[in-house]
């Protein structure tokens, strides 16, 4: 069988036929007569493999390579992949590089050969990124200055000195005398007089002095002398409509400016005044509960010649009816009756200015203004 007759071309002239043998030509040249199907498939696979190896060796595997083979000096350009550098801070460099790369590549395509383009890409990849310095944040209103160790030490010493000065001033204020007029109350107001107290004294000390004043000033008045027999634990201090516990200091209400239903509970100054002692080392002895007895000559002399006259002290001339000394046993028996039904224990967390006053049954009171 002639190989040219089985080439598969319709033109008899060899001038218009390809000179390269196809896989079918190789298969027909190796196959003569009738063969088995398996043998035919094996020979066909061998012919196709041989044709592919021949095409790879000759460099004509694709049409594009055939056109490029006309220029033996041509080398396919390889685009170098950019490597991401770790640890570098960037504020917008990536956007600038992305916006500049297309324009530069367009210019290189129109004005330079392929080899120059490859060199240019390599140069751009090797160039280090532009680093921008970090500037101060304009949104921060105040930036604290760094302080040296000596400055920090001076600041700590200043704070400690201010703390000590405040404690000295506070102790001086606590030693300042003031007057507290009061009445005994058992359903009716019984004039009790006034007590000379210090702003740092506790409430129980005032109650102890109040019952002694009742015994000393009462004289032949039996109603007053009866109050001297009541123990301090059975006495209550009612300021306005608020029952003040025994363990509170008067200074606590002054420094916090505590306000009750009818205004400040103790509207005395928490700052040094003209009557504040300069030397607080010689403080008054903190005596405990005492038994009321007849006043001695020494106590009478102290009462007659005080360091500061009563008229110059804070609290002189205040209304005594707003400060009541009450027997707790009487209160327990009559707390459902007005005005004892309006009294309540002092709560430091409550705002008495906006609080609705209610009785023990939860009924709101209506007071005329």
Tokens 């002239």, located at residue: 13
Residue-level pLDDT at 67: 46
- Report the helix count and the strand count for the chain, using DSSP H and E: 11, 8
Q: How confident is the model at residue 110 (pLDDT cuts 50, 70, 90)?
A: very low
Q: Which residues does 68 contact at the CB level (< 8 Å), separation at least 6?
A: 74, 76
Judged against a pLDDT cut of 60, whether residue 229 lies above it is answered with yes
pLDDT digits (tens, 9 = 90+) for 241-257: 899 999 999 999 999 99
The arithmetic mean of pLDDT across residues 269-280, rounded, is: 82
Phi and psi angles of residue 349, each rounded to the nearest 5 degrees, phi first: -90, -5
Interval 317-346 mean pLDDT: 90
Q: Which range has the worst mean pLDDT, 20-24, 185-189, 339-343? A: 20-24
Quick check: 340 pLDDT over 50?
A: yes
**218: pLDDT confidence band, cut at 50, 70 and 90?**
low
Greater confidence (276 vs 364) lies with 276
Taking the CB of residue 291, how many other CB atoms lie within 10 A of it? 7
CA-to-CA distance for 343 and 359, rounded, in angstroms? 8
Whether the predicted pLDDT of 311 surpasses 80: yes
Handedness of CA 206, 269, 259, 319 (dihedral sign): positive
For 229, 237, 294, 342, 347, the CA distances from 232, given in Å and listed in that order, are 9, 10, 18, 23, 21
**Average pLDDT across the chain, whole number:** 74
The residue among 361 and 226 whose pLDDT is bigger is 226
Comparing CA positions, the residue from 345, 276, 319, 327 lying closest to residue 180 is 319
pLDDT of residue 16: 60
Q: In this predicted structure, what is the pLDDT of residue 2? A: 47
Name the least confident of 113-122, 161-170, 178-187.
113-122
Q: What is the pLDDT of residues 129-146, one digit of tens each?
A: 777 777 777 777 766 677
Q: Which parts of the chain fold into alpha helices (H)?
A: 23-30, 37-58, 63-68, 93-111, 114-126, 149-174, 203-218, 222-227, 250-255, 297-304, 328-334
Residue located via tokens 């009321």:
292
């Amino acid at each position: 069988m002639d190989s040219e007759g089985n080439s598969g071309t319709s033109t008899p002239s060899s001038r218009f036929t390809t000179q390269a043998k196809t896989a079918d030509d190789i298969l027909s040249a190796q196959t003569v007569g009738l063969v088995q199907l398996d043998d035919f498939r094996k020979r066909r696979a061998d012919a196709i493999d041989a044709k592919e190896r021949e095409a790879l060796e000759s460099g004509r595997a694709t049409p594009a390579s055939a056109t490029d083979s006309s220029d033996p000096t041509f080398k396919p350009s390889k685009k170098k992949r950019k490597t991401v550098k770790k640890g570098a801070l960037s504020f917008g460099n990536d956007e600038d590089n992305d916006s500049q790369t297309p324009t530069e590549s367009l210019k290189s395509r129109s004005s330079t050969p392929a080899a120059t383009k490859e060199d240019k890409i390599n140069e751009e990849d090797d160039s280090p990124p532009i680093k921008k310095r970090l500037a101060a944040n304009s949104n921060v209103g105040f930036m604290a200055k760094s302080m040296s160790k000596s400055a920090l030490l001076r600041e700590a010493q200043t704070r400690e000195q201010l703390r000590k000065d405040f404690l000295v001033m506070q102790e001086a204020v606590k030693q300042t005398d003031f007057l507290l007029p009061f009445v005994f109350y058992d359903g009716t107001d019984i004039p009790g007089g006034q007590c000379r107290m210090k702003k740092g004294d506790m409430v129980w000390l005032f109650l102890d002095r109040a019952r002694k004043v009742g015994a000393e000033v009462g004289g032949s008045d039996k109603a007053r002398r009866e109050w001297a027999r009541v123990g301090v634990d059975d006495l209550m201090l009612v300021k306005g409509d608020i029952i003040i516990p025994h363990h509170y200091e008067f200074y606590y209400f002054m420094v916090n400016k505590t306000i009750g239903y009818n205004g400040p509970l103790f509207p005395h100054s928490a700052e040094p005044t003209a009557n504040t002692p300069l030397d607080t080392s010689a403080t008054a002895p903190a005596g405990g509960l005492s038994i009321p007895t007849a006043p001695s000559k020494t106590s009478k002399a102290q009462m007659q010649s005080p360091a500061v006259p009563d008229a110059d002290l804070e609290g002189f001339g205040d209304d005594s009816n707003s400060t009541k000394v009450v027997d707790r046993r009487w209160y327990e028996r009559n707390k459902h009756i007005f005005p004892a039904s309006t009294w309540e224990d002092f709560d430091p967390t409550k705002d008495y200015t906006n609080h609705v006053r209610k009785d023990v049954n939860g009924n709101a009171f209506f007071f005329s203004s």
